[in-house]
Amino acid sequence: MNVENELRKALRRQSPPAGFAERVIAKAGGQFRTPWWKFRPLVLANAVALTVVLFAGGVIYQRHEEQRALDARRQLVTALNVTRVSLQKAQERIRRAAAKPIL
Amino acid sequence: MFVALEFARLVRANQSMVFSVALRFLRNHEVAEEVSQDVFLQLYQNLGRIQNEAHAAWWLRRTICHRAIDEVRKRKLRPQIGLDSIPDPAAARQEPDWLQNERLRRFVEALPVRPRMVVVLRYQEDLDPTDIAGLLGIPVSTVKSHLHRSLAVLRARLARESARQSEGVCYECGK
């Protein structure tokens, strides 16, 4: 008897039980699922960039609105000054007309 | 997604090798399946370090060898035939020399830990002594020594068993 040949026959590979591969794959997928933030740096970077852009946009819009408000105020003050001067002139004319004697 | 597909492919390609090494060494289906599963889950964690399929096969073979040896030492498994180690009649029919093969598997199981693993790697995986030495981290001369002595022990036991059978002696009960 050739012991080595007999050993090769006796120790021939045996397939694992049915479903072994599926169980291993399922366990690997479940147990070792890592948080999305750990394996998607690009998504995280995009989210951060979007947040920064939105925040910056908000700041810029607010400053724009403030500037518009300042401009509107300035225009109002100018208009009021113009009106005041016009009223003063009109008042002066009326005073002069009232001071002239009636012949 | 790609990682998951790659892992699934490696599992299916190497499951027989990993499970067989564990089973032939541990002689316990339940423990062999558990240890094999752990080795594949370990592969999943280290997938980034695997360079190609050949590397994966080498990595799995080396890991299952060391895990199986550790398992024996941890559980202090003794050579025994549990009910789950006896194949069902259908399996026995598929293996014509089942009785002879089973006897030889029991003899291998009775070998000390390191020589047992050397014999499994040599005659199941068909690895040469240099590859076995690399996997187990032992000198080639030690591998050859283990093989030489193990074959001598197995021949002696088979011869003794044959003699007993021809005399009508039951090996198990010694009657």
- Phi then psi for B10, rounded to 5 degrees? -70, -35
pLDDT at residue A44 in the model? 75
pLDDT at residue B67 in the model? 96
pLDDT at residue B56 in the model? 95
Look at residue B112 and tell me whether its pLDDT is greater than 70.
yes
Candidates A1, A2, A3: best to mutate against B (most CBs of B within 10 A) is A3
pLDDT at residue A29 in the model? 80
From the list B4, B40, B119, the residue facing A7 with the nearest CB is B119
Gyration radius of chain B over CA positions: 18
Task: For chain A, positions 21-40, list CB contacts with chain B under 8 A.
Answer: 21, 23-25, 27-29, 31-32
Min Cα–Cα distance to chain B from A33, Å: 10
Give the pLDDT band of residue B96 (cuts 50, 70, 90): low
User: Among all residues of chain A, which has the CA nearest to that of B30?
Assistant: A17
Give the pLDDT band of residue A98 (cuts 50, 70, 90): confident
In 3D space, the residue among B47, B69, B65 whose CA is nearest the CA of residue B56 turns out to be: B47
Task: For chain B, positions 81-140, list CB contacts with chain A under 8 A.
Answer: 97, 100-102, 104-105, 108, 119-120, 123-124, 126
Q: How far is CA B81 from CA A16, B27, B109, B153, in A?
A: 19, 8, 10, 20
CB within 8 A of B86, min separation 6: which ones? B102
Look at residue B42 and tell me whether its pLDDT is greater than 90.
yes
Q: How far is CA A85 from CA A79, A89, B10, in A?
A: 10, 6, 92
Look at residue A27 and tell me whether its pLDDT is greater than 60.
yes
pLDDT at residue A103 in the model? 57
The rounded mean pLDDT for chain B is 85
Q: Does residue A18 sit at the B interface (CB-CB below 8 Å)? A: no
From the list B16, B33, B151, the residue facing A13 with the nearest CB is B16
Look at residue A11 and tell me whether its pLDDT is greater than 50.
yes
> In terms of pTM, does the model score above 0.80?
no
| C-alpha A84, offset from chain centre | 47
Q: For residues B163 and B85, which has the higher predicted lDDT (pLDDT)? A: B163
CB B36 within 8 A of CB B22: yes
pLDDT in tens, A37-79: 555 677 778 888 888 888 888 888 889 888 998 998 998 988 8
Look at residue B153 and tell me whether its pLDDT is greater than 90.
yes
CB within 8 A of B71, min separation 6: which ones? B26, B31, B35, B77
pLDDT at residue B81 in the model? 46
In this prediction, what percent of chain A has a pLDDT beyond 90? 32
pLDDT at residue B172 in the model? 53
Look at residue B167 and tell me whether its pLDDT is greater than 60.
yes
CB-CB neighbors (< 8 A) of A12 in chain B: 124
Assigned token pair, B94: 């598929």
From the list B20, B40, B102, the residue facing A13 with the nearest CB is B20
pLDDT at residue B2 in the model? 59
Min Cα–Cα distance to chain B from A45, Å: 20
Are A4 and B15 in contact (CB < 8 Å)?
Answer: no
The rounded mean pLDDT for chain A is 84
CB-CB neighbors (< 8 A) of A5 in chain B: none
Look at residue B83 and tell me whether its pLDDT is greater than 50.
no
User: Among all residues of chain A, which has the CA nearest to that of B42?
Assistant: A28
Average pLDDT, integer, range B132-154: 96
